[in-house]
Amino acid sequence: MSALKNDRFIRALLRQPVDTTPVWMMRQAGRYLPEYRETRAQAGDFLSLCKNTDFACEVTLQPLRRYDLDAAILFSDILTVPDALGLGLYFETGEGPKFKKTVRSEQDIAALPKVNIGADLDYVVNAVKAIRSALGGQVPLIGFSGSPWTLATYMIEGGSSKDYRYSKEMLYARPELLHALLDHLAETVTDYLNAQIEAGAQVIQIFDSWGGALAHREYVEFSLNYMQKIVAGLIKEKEGQKIPVILFTKGGGQWLAQMLDTDADAFGLDWTTSLNTARQTVNGRAALQGNLDPATLYGNAQSIEKAVKLMLDDAYADGEKTGYVANLGHGITQWVDPANPKVFIDTVHEYSQKYLR
């Protein structure tokens, strides 16, 4: 495997000195890019795009050809795990992901198979190997999974949800059932992420997209505890390099103090938490990532530049010179003009240098 030509992303996650603030974007390979839409049309549909090694590799690399990004992220989906558990993932036009089967009873949970990652999710492992090879050490590759709680909500609801009606009913009426499901998912996700690390992923991010929907005690019991189990079970080092782990709970900024107990290296933030406040909370014990509102990229060059500079002023208000990665507070949306991310990325690299000299 090639040595990294640009390792500032990993250095920032490990709170080591950096020459400029590293930046990448959640969903950076996606529908806002015309070349992505073209490749997806070639693939036929979204799942075929994920499951074809050449296509998955191609769309992962597309944003790196356009922008000066400091990381690549595996092109896949968090719902590959429930799909491998036999729930029958499909995508309804205009309605997002759906499952043919739901998991709502003791019998449903007992019937869940043990996933054989090498057989059931080999297309993800193959994509990681292909992307890592194609990158040639240009930037690090991020592997990822959904958190057990987030995956459980999709499996229980049968798709996305606004009110988590069935998930929260199970949580409050049959908590032991939910714990059994979360245990099964934590074990599967640990195996899945370790397979990605073995295949070449150099950083891991766990997407807890729906953790913010939980009440404060329930967040720790039903989401954070299971992410902590995963972090504890991950391969810590590969090829002599530490594998940093990022936890991202959307709507989770208020739980940063509790998150520190997981021993994750970094925490992603959405746009609702001040970076200055977050830096004071973690107090040098972990790195932070985020937190630009993705809608900022609907603005013009001047408004984007202004928002990015304010974000960086917050990030470095405590005088620290590392331990921060610029990113959006959630995924980039399909309606963004592809010219605008360049303003975001270039402003991060140029403006942050004044804090890092």
The verdict on whether residue 31 carries a ligand-binding annotation is: yes
For residue 154, say whether it is annotated as part of any ligand binding site.
Answer: yes
- Provide mean pLDDT across the span 114-118: 96
pLDDT in tens, 40-95: 999 999 999 999 999 999 999 999 999 999 999 999 999 999 999 999 999 877 77
Q: What is the pLDDT of residues 1-43, one digit of tens each?
A: 458 999 999 999 999 999 999 999 999 999 999 999 999 999 9
Q: Which amino acid is at 299?
A: G
Is residue 4 within 8 A of residue 14, CB to CB? The reply is: no
265 is in an annotated binding site: no
Q: Which residues are catalytic?
A: 27, 31, 40, 77, 154
CATH, domain range 8-356: 3.20.20.210
Give just the sign of the alpha carbon dihedral 270, 144, 101, 174.
negative
What is the model's pLDDT at position 95?
A: 75
For the chain, the C-alpha Rg in angstroms (whole number) is 19
Domain boundaries, the chain: 8-356
3-state secondary structure of 204: strand
Residue 77 labelled as part of a binding site: yes
| pLDDT tens-place string over residues 298-334 | 999 999 999 999 999 999 999 999 999 999 999 999 9
Nearest-5° Cα angle at 77, 73 to 81: 120
